[in-house]
C-alpha cells in the first residue's frame, strides 16, 4: 500500500477495484463437470449486467456493443437484447445453444465496456443452468469470482444446493469464499 492509498484509506476514500475479466473463461471448462457430474445443463441463456451511465456515454457504449454483437452474431447465431430491470440496471441478454459462444460474447461485451471507460460500471455476468429448476452461476467482476444462486420459489433460495455446488466446484471455478457476497439477483430479465 502506497502513501496515497494509505492517505485515502484514512480519509475514508476507497477506490473501486477494476473489473476483472481474466477468470471469465473458467466456466467454459467447468460446464463439463456441471453437466456430467451434477446434471446441470446450460440453458442457452446468459447475460451481463451493468449500472446505468450518463445518457450520452451510455448511448455511445450501447451503439458500440450493438455493432460488435451484430457482427459477432452473424458468425455464431447468437440472439441478443438490451434491457433494463426494475432497479434500472442494464442487461445484455444473450441466447445461443453453443455455450462457448455465450462465454465469448460476455467477454467481448465486458472488454468493450472496459475500453470505453466503464469498467467500474460492470456488475456481473450470469449463466443459467437447468436441473429441477433454474440454477445460476454468477460472476462478480469486482471480486473476480463466481458463486451459485439457486432460487426456490418467490424470493427464497436453496442454500443447501448452493453450498453443495460450492463444495463440488471450488476446484474448477474461482468461487467467492465470503458467502455474504453471494448476492441474490431476483430481478433478472431472463
> Could you report the per-residue pLDDT of 149-176, keeping only the tens digit for each?
999 988 899 999 999 999 999 999 999 9
- Cα 21 to Cα 68, 82, 112, 113, 138: the distances in Å are 18, 21, 11, 11, 13
Mean pLDDT, the chain, rounded, equals 85
The pTM score is: 0.84
pLDDT in tens, 111-138: 888 887 888 889 999 999 998 889 999 9
pLDDT band per the 50, 70, 90 thresholds, residue 147:
very high
Statement: residue 16 has pLDDT above 80: no
Among 94, 47, 69, 82, which residue's Cα sits nearest to residue 188? 47
Amino acid at each position: 500500500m502506497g502513501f496515497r492509498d494509505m492517505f485515502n484509506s484514512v480519509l475514508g476514500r476507497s477506490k473501486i477495484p477494476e473489473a476483472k475479466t481474466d477468470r471469465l473463461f473458467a466456466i467454459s471448462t467447468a460446464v463439463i463437470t456441471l453437466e456430467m457430474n451434477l446434471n446441470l445443463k446450460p440453458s442457452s441463456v446468459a447475460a451481463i449486467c451493468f449500472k446505468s451511465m450518463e445518457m450520452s456515454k451510455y448511448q455511445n457504449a450501447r451503439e458500440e456493443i450493438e455493432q460488435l454483437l451484430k457482427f459477432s452474431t452473424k458468425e455464431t447465431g447468437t440472439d441478443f437484447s438490451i434491457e433494463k430491470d426494475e432497479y434500472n440496471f442494464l442487461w445484455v441478454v444473450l441466447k445461443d445453444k453453443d455455450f462457448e459462444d455465450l462465454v465469448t460474447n460476455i467477454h467481448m461485451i465486458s472488454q468493450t465496456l472496459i475500453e470505453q471507460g466503464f469498467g467500474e460500471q460492470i456488475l456481473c455476468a450470469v449463466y443459467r443452468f437447468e436441473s429441477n429448476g433454474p440454477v445460476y452461476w454468477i460472476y462478480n467482476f469486482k471480486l473476480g469470482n463466481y458463486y451459485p444462486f439457486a432460487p426456490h420459489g418467490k424470493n427464497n433460495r436453496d442454500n443447501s444446493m448452493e453450498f453443495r455446488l460450492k463444495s463440488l466446484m471450488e476446484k474448477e471455478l474461482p468461487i467467492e469464499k465470503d458467502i455474504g457476497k453471494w448476492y441474490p439477483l431476483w430481478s433478472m430479465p431472463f
